[in-house]
Amino acid sequence: RDWPKHAHLMLHVHRLHNLFSLLLPPYSMPGVVLFELLEGFSAVFRENKFSCLPPKCPVPLTAADYFTSRAAVPFYLAIVPTSLMLNRLFRNASNASSQQGVEEGADAGSPKEEFGLAGKDEGVIAEEARLRAGNLNRDDILAYKGLRYTYATDAGSQVHAVRGVSLSLRRGECFGLLGPNGAGKTTTLGCLTGELWPPTAGTVYFEGKDVSSEGFSALYGKLGMCLQEDRHLWPFPSGMSHLYFYGRIKGIPEERLETEIDAILQFVSLKVKDAMRSTKEYSGGMKRRLSIAIALLGRPTMLFMDEPTAAVDVMVKRELWRVVKNRSAEQMVFLTSHQMEEVEALCDRVGIQVLGRLRALGTVPHLRHRYGRGYQLELVVEMNAEGRDGGSSSEARAKELTQFVRDRVHADAKLLETQVGRFVFQLEDDGEGKGIRLSAIFKQVAEARKSLRIKDYGVRQPTLEQVFLRFANEQEEAEAAERAFTKKA
């Protein structure tokens, strides 16, 4: 009630108001409105001589004071932190929502989810659990957690190219990513190299650092990229000009650039006289050599290769394999390929991706053992070009042969592949082949060879290519089921 004695308190209130406006962004805008309302009502009540209100502040502020030129600096000082804080809050909320959708299966219930794709194998599940718990190893040079990328087509529909994939790659490792067309391999590579950044959801770590906060600009000197197409090569400049250009972009010191280019040309077996020629004169193999040479400039710790030996002859392919094998012991290679022979020759570990999801993970022997247990029986029968034999259709012959194999060879045999006159059956056992006797297989087939009109037959252990075809067939079935579902809907 004794307001005159406490008039100085209002000065402190004003000072606290200004301080809070700068230090507490959420307070600034509502604080201004609230304080102006208080000042306005106080002025009205004082004019009517209400003694219950405190005296006017020694440093009065009116609404007009907030719009003078002197107020511009504190106004923007308040607006900037407010905007930054709200932006951060919205990003965190969006990332949390997206990550939750990744972990819970944001596109569950879609036709592809409903119609196909068996569960992930134990290697993929263990890898996801480790990364979800944040347990990055010291040697994990690259890791991505819950990576998802969705884009819109011209027709307005959405395509989920990558669906919540988690994976880590070790220093010095050569990792091969397999998958049929449309599995999301190139999209995954684009997310990891910054070409498709940012992803729809997920986190990417390089050397333990979150790329979202660090940015790609600091990483480009550590990345080497050999793309599927040679669109980074111009037709008229020479190969040497390309190497100097990309070397300077990567920040290689000028005094060291010439020496490094000479060493790389020798490493990829590209002669200096060829490097001086215009790239429009290069063959496909020479362009591949130049692309790999560009990728190796600066000795990057991470090398990304998207089908590097596509459309080259066998000799060039072998030379490029030699380059990858003789790389630095600390250099990690991320390789996508459709060539099983290449993956078996180069890769320490392999992942198989189907419809944007990582389905299998492990070494080549592990995948062959895990998804190709037992033996495969191949039967080649007499059929004409139309797929008929004595009036029997290919479907009827498949049914007849399947019945024979299940009755006489293996009760749980599965028909894997059918072509004109060729049928491949999977004979699974306990994983070591102990439950199947090869002598019994050959005996039964030999006895029925004449009656079933079998021209040739053979038994083999599954190859990586057959494991790959199994997943490719699975994707085709899932896509066919989705088309049927969409058409019916």
What's the pLDDT at 264?
Answer: 93
d(C-alpha 288, C-alpha 283), whole Å: 9
Note the CATH architecture for domain 374-461.
2-Layer Sandwich (3.30)
How many C-beta atoms surround the C-beta of residue 435 within 10 A? Answer: 12
Does the predicted TM-score (pTM) go above 0.75?
no
Helix segments in 24-176, DSSP class H: 25-47, 72-104, 111-115, 122-132
Domain boundaries, the chain: 122-369, 374-461
Between strands 223-226 and 302-306, the pairing is parallel
What's the pLDDT at 314?
Answer: 85
d(C-alpha 461, C-alpha 463), whole Å: 7
Taking CA atoms, 67 is separated from 26, 61, 75, 338, 471, in Å, by: 20, 11, 9, 66, 67
Residue numbers in the chain where pLDDT is lower than 50: 1, 3, 50-53, 58-59, 98-117, 387, 390-391, 433
d(C-alpha 469, C-alpha 282), whole Å: 34
Q: Radius of gyration of the chain from Cα atoms?
A: 33
Taking CA atoms, 473 is separated from 88, 205, 371, 479, in Å, by: 44, 33, 14, 10
Q: Cβ neighbours of residue 55 under 8 Å, at least 6 residues apart?
A: 3, 4, 7, 10
Q: What is the DSSP letter of 389?
A: B
What's the pLDDT at 417?
Answer: 82
Q: How many residues does the chain have?
A: 489
Q: Which CATH number fits domain 122-369: 3.40.50.450, 3.40.50.300, 3.30.450.40, 3.55.50.30?
A: 3.40.50.300
Q: Which tokens belong to 92?
A: 């965190």
Between strands 209-210 and 201-206, the pairing is antiparallel
Order of strands, edge to edge, in the sheet holding 223-226? 223-226, 302-306, 332-336, 174-178, 349-354, 357-362
Question: Given 3-state DSSP classes, what are the helix, strand and coil percentages for the chain, each rounded to the nearest 5?
Answer: 50, 20, 30
What digits encode the pLDDT tens for the residues 359-407? Answer: 999 999 888 878 876 788 999 998 765 545 544 567 888 899 999 999 9
Q: What is the DSSP letter of 392?
A: B
Taking CA atoms, 277 is separated from 30, 154, 242, 345, in Å, by: 68, 41, 11, 32
Q: Cβ neighbours of residue 377 under 8 Å, at least 6 residues apart?
A: 405, 409, 413, 424, 425, 427, 441, 445, 457, 458, 459
How many C-beta atoms surround the C-beta of residue 344 within 10 A? Answer: 16
Residue pair 481/115 in contact by the 8 Å Cβ criterion: yes
How many C-beta atoms surround the C-beta of residue 87 within 10 A? Answer: 10
d(C-alpha 233, C-alpha 256), whole Å: 23
Q: Which tokens belong to 295?
A: 């990728």
Q: Is 479 exposed, middle or buried (0-12, 13-18, 19+ CB in 10 A)?
A: middle
